[in-house]
Amino acid sequence: MDSAVVVAAIDELAGFLRADGADLLVREANPKIARVHLALVLDGVTCADCILPPDELRATIADALQRRIAEEFELVLDDPRREQ
C-alpha cells in the first residue's frame, strides 16, 4: 500500500465533502499493518443532509480505495455521527 496513493484518493473524495463544509482527513495510512484510518470532520457543514449517511460514505470510500490499492487493507473511519 502506497501512502501517497491513499492520500491522493482521499483528497479527491474530500473535494466532494468540502463543497458542503465537511472534510475527510487521513490520520494514518500504514502499509506495515495495511490500515487506512480516516476522520470525517463536520465542523463547517452547512447542509447535513447533503453528506452521505455513515454506511454509504464508508462504502464509497472503501470502493474508491480498493480501485487504487491492490492488496487488502483495514479501513477505519471516525465519523462523529456514529458517536452520538
Q: pLDDT digits over 31-53, tens only? A: 999 999 999 999 988 877 789 99
Helices 3-18, 54-68: axis angle to 10 degrees equals 140
pLDDT at 50 (0 to 100): 84
pLDDT at 84 (0 to 100): 52
- Residues in Cβ contact with 7 at an 8 Å cutoff, skipping those fewer than 6 apart: 26, 29
Measure CA 33 to chain center: 18
**Domain boundaries, position 23:** 3-82
pLDDT of 82 higher than 70:
yes
Into how many domains does the chain fold? 1
The CATH number of the domain holding residue 31 is 3.30.300.130
H or E, element range at 46: none
Query: Can you give the pTM of this predicted structure?
Result: 0.88
d(CA 24, CA 80): 12
pLDDT of 83 higher than 70:
no
